[in-house]
């Protein structure tokens, strides 16, 4: 298997010292601490403040994907989105994404963030690669229980064009106590939302003869 350290390019990693120096000059986005569940200006387990202009969509499991309105992020990150519960908008995943026209651009961009995050979080376990159908690495993970920081490349579409998406997602490790607790809240809120939706449907409907 291809060495995880060669992810996205097949070239050697740039010196870690360079990125440690670079950290001093980067804006506050990088100064957040994923070791405490903070990423892109948001905190895992906190509630997102929904506003009148909040953009959201419902997932197949009844959760919401919310486009963050006031992220704190590097300038080359295009969008920050949050996976939240249905009612209280409790944050379970924090995702930062950028899109590229070619795979080569996306891989170069991804390699830079792999190096940068490894420099900032040297104590996190690095690896757990994901492969595509051509056995090219498209995902790596940085783990420090209970947190997981996943970096991934995938094909996507934007404005009806095929593009490449690079994403960084902070969440809890799948079977951690925190992740299990969040999923319990998610299921509970989803059931409540379904009941309220059915009740509202009945109240609004003309039920004569039914």
> For residue 10, which of 120, 122, 104 has the smallest C-alpha distance?
104
Instruction: State the alpha helices, DSSP H only, in 2-67.
Output: 16-25
- Give strand ranges (E) for 47-146: 56-58, 64-67, 79-84, 91-100, 125-131, 137-144
Q: How does pLDDT run across 78-92, given as a tens digit for each residue?
A: 999 999 999 999 999
Q: What are the tens digits of pLDDT across the range 40-86?
A: 999 999 999 998 899 999 998 889 999 999 999 999 999 999 999 99
Tell me, rounded to whole angstroms, the distance of Cα 126 from its chain centroid.
17
CA contacts within 13 A on the Cβ side of 62: 17
Question: Averaging pLDDT over each range in 18-27, 30-39, 137-146, 196-205, which range is the top one?
Answer: 137-146
pTM of the entire structure? 0.79
8 A C-beta contact, residue 131 and residue 123: no
pLDDT higher at 159 or 111: 111
Q: What is the 3-state secondary structure (H, E, C) of 73-98?
A: CCCCCCEEEEEECCCCCEEEEEEEEE
Please provide residue 111's backbone torsions phi and psi, each rounded to the nearest 5 degrees: -60, -40
């Amino acid at each position: 298997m291809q060495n995880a350290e060669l992810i996205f390019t097949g070239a050697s990693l740039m010196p870690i010292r360079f990125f440690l120096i670079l950290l001093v000059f980067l804006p506050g986005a990088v100064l957040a601490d994923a070791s405490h569940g903070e990423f892109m200006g948001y905190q895992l387990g906190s509630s997102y403040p929904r506003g009148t202009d909040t953009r959201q969509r419902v997932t197949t499991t009844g959760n919401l994907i919310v486009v963050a309105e006031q992220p704190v992020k590097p300038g080359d990150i295009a969008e920050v989105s949050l996976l939240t519960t249905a009612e209280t908008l409790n944050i379970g995943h924090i995702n930062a994404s950028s899109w590229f026209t070619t795979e080569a651009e996306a891989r170069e961009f991804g390699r830079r963030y792999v190096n940068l995050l490894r420099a900032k979080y040297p104590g996190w376990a690095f690896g757990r690669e994901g492969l595509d159908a051509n056995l090219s690495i498209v995902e790596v993970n940085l783990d420090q229980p209970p947190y997981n920081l996943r970096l991934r490349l995938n094909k996507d579409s934007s404005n009806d064009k095929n593009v490449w998406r690079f994403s960084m997602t902070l969440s809890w490790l799948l079977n951690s106590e925190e992740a299990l607790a969040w999923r319990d809240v998610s299921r509970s809120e989803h059931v409540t939302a379904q009941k309220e939706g059915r009740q509202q449907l009945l109240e609004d409907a003309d039920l004569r003869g039914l």
